[in-house]
Amino acid sequence: MRNVFLIFLLFAHAADEVRGGLRTAALVVRDMDESLAFYRDILGYSMRVDRVVTNPVSIETVGFADVTAFRIVYLSPNAAMTNHPFAASELSMSQPLSRTPAPKPAEPCAARTTRIGQVILSQQVEGLDTVAAKIAAGGYCVVSKLQLSGTGQSRTMAVLDPNGIRVEIFEYVTP
């Protein structure tokens, strides 16, 4: 019994040493205004911060090369969703500011297939039919049509944001 207690103490102590969690998803975007139109106007995030960063340490930390500034925007989730599971993540977006902006992709649906190292965002919403209509009206690339999920517990769809980032959008089905 003493050995079990010691193992428990060691395990409990080790678990206390590491504390943390994902605070925000940070996206590097090609065009901030297009990205805001998607995340703010369609998915309901609200803007908390919008500023230009020129600090060389911050530029190095983010990993930009050959730029002297970047625009960063912090978004908060829709206040009505903060009590829902999986729905209350903050989002930040950074756009490098340079003389030559990144070109818009010729084919918005080119990144349909998921690849190793890719980040997929998952976003819970209420009113998925309204969100799907806004996505269609905005001409976004739908990579998985609106349908019942494999578990039957939610309805889901997947779309590419203006930067080619795959976003799964879902809504729980009420029993």
What integer is the mean pLDDT of 117-124?
85
Identify residue 16 by its one-letter amino acid code: D
pLDDT band at 99 (very low <50, low <70, confident <90, very high): low
Domain contains 125:
yes
Domain contains 40:
yes
Model pLDDT for residues 17-58, shown as the tens digit of each residue = 766 666 678 899 999 999 999 999 999 999 999 999 999 999
pLDDT band at 79 (very low <50, low <70, confident <90, very high): low
Highest mean pLDDT among 13-27, 83-97, 117-131: 117-131
Q: What's residue 158's pLDDT?
A: 95
Domain that holds residue 45: 21-100+108-172
* CATH number for the domain that contains residue 57: 3.10.180.10
Give percent helix, percent strand, percent coil of the chain, each to the nearest 5. 25, 30, 40
Q: Average model confidence (pLDDT) for the chain?
A: 82
Are 80 and 126 in contact by the 8 Å Cβ rule? The answer is: yes
82: closest CA among 46, 119, 120?
A: 46
Domain contains 6:
no
Strands 90-97 and 120-124: unpaired
Rg value, the chain, Cα: 20
Domain contains 148:
yes
Domain contains 13:
no
Domain contains 145:
yes
Domain contains 128:
yes
Q: List the Cα angle 97/98/101 in 5-degree steps.
A: 90
**For the chain, what is the domain count?**
1
Q: What's residue 146's pLDDT?
A: 96
Q: What's residue 16's pLDDT?
A: 58
Domain contains 46:
yes
CA-to-CA dists, residue 157 to 8, 39, 111, 122, 128, angstroms = 43, 16, 16, 10, 9
What share of the chain in percent tops pLDDT 90?
52
